[in-house]
A = this chain, B = another copy of it.
Amino acid sequence: MPKIFVLRWGHRPKRDARLTTHVILAARALGASGLMLSDIKDEKIKEMIEKITKNWGGPFLFEMGTPWKKVIKDWKEKGGIVVHLTAYGENIQTSDVLQRIKTLEKDILIIVGSQKVPREFFSETISDFNVAIGNQPHSECASMAVFLDRFFEGTELTRSFENVKVKIICQKRGKKIVRNN
């Protein structure tokens, strides 16, 4: 199964703190292997995700500060493809875009913007695919979640993590946690 990483573009530390946190948590919970926060460093976000992987397990790569063009150049040099999630792209439901992506069997870098993204993101030089999780105004966190769930076909929800200190035991009622200390 190919690996998926996420490029989070346009993060503004104050304004986007909680949303970027949610994007990272959702990426990890839904099978992505890591996230690159491009162009900016945000130590609080770094601490948050380090705390999560320390307690709930990993591996989950987190990098920050690299200019987005370099992240994409390096990614493509390693043979990966780039999928830009945007409401303007090909509808994942009505087109065969997901099938075309899967057929390539290559690792994927998903771009999710925070602010309005540069026009360049839509072009062949950057994105191999522009994919829309529907063509309505949306949340990048929700779009990414649906893309990951459809790409991994649900298997992401049974994936096990390594070096787990805290684990939820799922049940019909109440809250159950197990700790390995």
Chain A residues at the B interface, C-beta cutoff of 8 Å? 15-16, 18-19, 21-23, 25-26, 28-30, 52, 56, 87-95, 119, 122-124, 129-130, 132-139, 141-146, 149-150, 154-158, 161, 167-176
Are B130's CB and A172's CB within 8 A? yes
Determine the chain B residues whose CB is within 8 A of the CB of A171 once the complex forms: 88-90, 130
Are A135's CB and B168's CB within 8 A? yes
CB distance from A24 to the nearest CB of B (A): 9
Are A93's CB and B154's CB within 8 A? yes
CB distance from A56 to the nearest CB of B (A): 6
CB distance from A148 to the nearest CB of B (A): 9
Are A124's CB and B173's CB within 8 A? yes
Besides A25-B137, A90-B171, A136-B161, 5 new A-B residue pairs in contact (Cβ under 8 A), listed by A number? A22-B142, A30-B133, A91-B170, A94-B158, A143-B145
